[in-house]
């Protein structure tokens, strides 16, 4: 069973490229897979994190796809950051089985840390670029 989740940057006015985004972003992949959008967050097979995100106010269903959820405001981005940060506590990860994943805590922590940094950078960028929005995708 595969399960990929991530966040891509899109625009309501223009194709998004890495060149137009803040230089501080660190990308999970060497190349983009869909022209016009840029992926900034990715994780695989982390079921509880996925479920927590989908059950939150951080993401809103879209009409375009049952597997895409919009993140339209910096406030929503910060809600997503709070969720990811809650999974970064080792004691919570192990005691509450928050991870529910194939990955060890030590393997996931740097990924989650980079997710948080990228989301904070893009939330700031969104303030001066109102055409920018994010999509949380769910491959389930």
DSSP per-residue string spanning 110-125: HHHHHHHHHHHHHHHH
Q: Give the per-residue pLDDT at 97.
A: 66
Query: According to the model, what pLDDT value does residue 132 have?
Result: 98
Residue-wise pLDDT for 33-70, tens only, equals 889 999 999 999 888 899 999 999 999 999 888 899 99
What does the mean pLDDT of the chain come to? Answer: 92
Name the residue range of residue 97's domain.
4-138
Share of the chain above pLDDT 70, in %: 94
pLDDT at 139: 84
Confidence bin at 2 (pLDDT 50/70/90): low
The secondary structure element, H or E, covering residue 135 is strand 132-138
CB-based contacts of 62-69 (< 8 A; 24+ apart in sequence)? 62/135, 67/137, 67/138, 67/139, 67/140, 68/135, 68/136, 68/137, 68/138, 69/135, 69/136, 69/137, 69/138
Task: Read off the pTM.
Answer: 0.93
Domains contained in the chain, number: 1
Q: For residue 98, what pLDDT is reported?
A: 65
Alpha helices in the chain (DSSP H): 47-54, 74-86, 90-95, 105-128
Of 64 and 5, which is predicted with more confidence?
5
């Amino acid at each position: 069973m595969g399960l990929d989740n991530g966040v891509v940057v899109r625009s309501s006015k223009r194709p998004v490229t890495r060149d137009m985004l803040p230089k501080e972003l660190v990308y999970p992949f060497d190349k983009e897979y869909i022209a016009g959008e840029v992926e900034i967050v990715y994780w695989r097979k982390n079921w509880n994190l996925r479920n927590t995100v989908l059950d939150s106010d951080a993401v809103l269903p879209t009409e375009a796809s049952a597997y895409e959820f919009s993140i339209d405001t910096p406030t929503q981005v910060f809600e997503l950051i709070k969720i990811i940060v809650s999974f970064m506590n080792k004691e919570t990860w192990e005691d509450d089985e928050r991870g529910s994943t194939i990955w060890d805590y030590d393997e996931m922590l740097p990924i989650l840390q980079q997710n948080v940094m990228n989301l904070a950078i893009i939330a700031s960028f969104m303030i001066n670029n109102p055409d920018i929005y994010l999509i949380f995708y769910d491959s389930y």
